[in-house]
Structure 1
Amino acid sequence: MNNMEKRNQTTFPGFLLLGLTEDPKLQPVFVSLFFSIYLITILGNLLIILISISDAHLHTPMYLFLSNLSLNDICLSTSTIPKMLVNIKENSQSITYKGCLTQMSFVLIFCGMENCLLAVMAYDRYIAICHPLRYTVIMEPCFCVLLILLSLLISVVDTLMHSLMVLRLSFCTHLEISNFICELPQILKLACSDTLIDNILIYLSACIFTGIPISGIVFSYVHIISSILRMSSLEGKHKAFTTCGSHLSVVSLFYGTAFGVYITSIIMDSSRNTAVASVMYSVVPQMLNPFIYSLRNRDMKEAMGKFFSRMASFL
């Protein structure tokens, strides 16, 4: 085993990413599709960030968190799609051991960050609707920045634990990952050494680092809905629902795709379904988030109109 571990850290060749399909006729289609998705994701989220910075009316905690969510979505997409496009273009499935672990770590960090940011945004809406008079006192700039940094710290600590556990594993001859990215569960399946501790850590981590943010989101929206129903003004109810609608849509999209498709893939026990599941939670929400916030948010639509007007007059 010592020789194998030494081989694992020195001459280990790496893994093979099987991707979404092995049909050569579909490869150009996937290149065009995912390049378009990546381009839309980058431009859409970058536009959200620029508008939030340029419009003084959007210099609020809600849009500070939204800008960081958009930046996180750009980083998550960048950690997955470009490598897949390069592999398809070069007709290669290989990824080095270090490259695979690096990609796995980035995916874990940015998925964890998204998870935490969605919980922070839910808390922001909870304070805005349930405690409006104390909103500016509670959600002061320093506290908002602290929440973002805490989200990043939690994500990094969680990722570091998993990465260190993976580094101690040995790998044998079966190097094929039935996916287009290096995911932690897929890597553990290829290990020759005992992965019991790793699997226990995954479940504990999911309960703590995913369970607590989800519980926070549920707690926030239970109180938000309760406060909205107690409002006597229809206009106030509509404004409150509109304020939360975009965030609730993003939450539903992220967790719905992640849980729904993964449950389906487990039931059907198909490696192809696992790859589709990865696309659904690591690619699709990041592309759609800017559209959700720009189309369902009145303030964002107005700011976007002003932004494009200024750009048109400048050109």
Structure 2
Amino acid sequence: MSILVIAEHDNKQIKSTTLNALGAAAKIGGEIHVLVIGGNCADAAQAAGKIAGVAKVRVIDAAHYADHTAENIAIAAAQLGGSYSHVLLPASSFGKNLGPRLAALLDVAQVSDIVGVESADTFVRPIYAGSALATVQSADPVKVITVRVSAFDAVAAEGGSAVIETAPAGPDLGVTKLIGRELTVSARPALGSARAVVSGGRALGSFESFHSVLEPLADKLGAAIGASRAAVDAGFAPNESQVGQTGQVVAPDLYIAIGISGAIQHLAGMKESKVIVAINKDPDAAIFGVADYGIVGDLFELVPQLTASL
């Protein structure tokens, strides 16, 4: 049994989501290979070769993969994926875009967003916005799986010495073209990998209040800043800050929800956090149902007091 993990990377570095997907692969068991597809991606391939537990790195390096468009990558990945028992991807935007295309090309059913491994063919995944867990068994010859990265420990990025080999490139379909990227640059930790997250909701009232209230607390804690969907829709925070079923799923050591009522789609994205603190003026807010610590009161008074006490 051999497992292929498709790496998420920027052509230079392997993203942390790949290390979590490799953690899931280790629980399945078998020889683990990593596929690095990109343009001028030798640095990423070398980094993948150093990851603990990886036996082989397969590299496809061509100009038409430089922008990581899923249409092109899926064809190349399918050419290799059919010879493996499992193909794993992180359930990030990258994996959610690529996984279904790959499964369709291999004519198999995708097993999405797994949070547990029971055996080589049986997996646990959340359903009903995380309100229940389903145990599913796949009889497909190739199991295409996306992995909820917050549910699996990352493997060590160092300590391995994998064989690196080149694989043939697929065709350039020419159906998509990247026009540009607008990247948010922040000194704070990435939302998906932060040990602490401070999130705000629509109750903060404005873009200015959202940032003036949350940022001092996040800076004190070295935390990432998240937001509810309502706050993002209101323009208080960018889309990549959204926590929830339609945003990012996080499970930090500490999650502080400020002015967030606790809609089910938001809870699905953060309720696996180790410690949850909620601040809300409504004592009946649903967020208190999952919180380890709750404070009922005016967030505009309580948050500055909390910040000052740290």
The reply to whether TM is greater than 0.5 is no
Higher helix share: 1
Q: Shorter-chain-normalised TM-score: which range?
A: under 0.3
TM-score by length of 2: 0.23
Higher strand share: 2
Largest Rg, 1 or 2? 1
Higher relative contact order (CA 8 A, sep 6+): 1
TM-score by length of 1: 0.23
